[in-house]
């Protein structure tokens, strides 16, 4: 039985100070990058929803402002030309989804009109909301 201490044993150490710096810079980069990107140029007051989902397929945005101006991907379109414009986008992509941004003061009849146009063209439609 050997009860002497062994003094020549190597100690195991892990230096993590550099990893902390790297994680801090990555966190800072993603915070700055997420605040810079804003897909909505048209400022709308969206209705609030507690259960929201994001859409990841080929999407186009249709916006309706409070003075009933229609925008398809940030380009102003007349209400009568909305169906033809969406039909051209439908030919470009097979699985197309419309993200509908409507100001909360717009009458529901205008929203249903856009939904009806999407249904006739067999395009999926998602109504955009703000989280509560």
The confidence score (pLDDT) of residue 56 equals 42
**120 CB burial (10 A radius; 0-12, 13-18, 19+):** exposed
Q: What is the pLDDT of residue 89?
A: 86
| Distance (Å, whole) CA 131 – CA 48 | 5
Asked if the model's pLDDT at residue 116 lies above 90, the reply is yes
Q: How confident is the model at residue 19 (pLDDT cuts 50, 70, 90)?
A: confident
Tokens of 74: 């940030």
CATH code for the part of the protein at 48-131: 3.30.420.270
pLDDT of 55 higher than 50: no
User: What are the residue boundaries of the structural domains of the chain, listed by start?
Assistant: 48-131
Contacts of residue 88, defined as CB under 8 A and 6 or more positions apart, other chains included, come to none
Mean pLDDT of the 46-51 span? 71
Tell me how far CA of residue 70 lies from CA of 48, 54, 59, 66, in angstroms: 21, 22, 17, 10
**Does residue 41 surpass a pLDDT of 60?**
no
Segment 38-55 shows an average pLDDT of 62
**Considering just the CA atoms, what is the radius of gyration of the chain in Å?**
26
Mean pLDDT of the chain: 81
Q: 74-96: per-residue pLDDT in tens?
A: 899 998 899 999 988 888 877 88
Q: Going along the chain, which residue ranges are E strands?
A: 48-49, 58-64, 70-72, 75-77, 96-102, 124-127, 130-131
CA dist., res. 62 & res. 82, Å (int): 9
């Amino acid at each position: 039985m050997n009860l002497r201490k062994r003094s020549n044993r190597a100690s195991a150490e892990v230096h993590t100070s550099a990893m902390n710096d790297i994680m801090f810079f990555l966190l800072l980069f993603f915070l700055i990058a997420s605040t810079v990107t804003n897909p909505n140029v048209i400022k709308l007051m969206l209705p609030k929803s507690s259960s929201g989902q994001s859409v990841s397929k080929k999407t186009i945005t249709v916006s309706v402002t409070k003075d009933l101006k229609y925008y398809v991907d940030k380009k102003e379109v007349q209400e009568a030309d909305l169906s033809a414009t969406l039909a051209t986008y439908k030919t470009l992509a097979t699985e197309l989804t419309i993200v509908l941004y409507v100001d909360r003061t717009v009458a529901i009849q205008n929203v249903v009109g856009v939904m009806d146009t999407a249904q006739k063209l067999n395009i999926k439609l998602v109504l955009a909301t703000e989280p509560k």
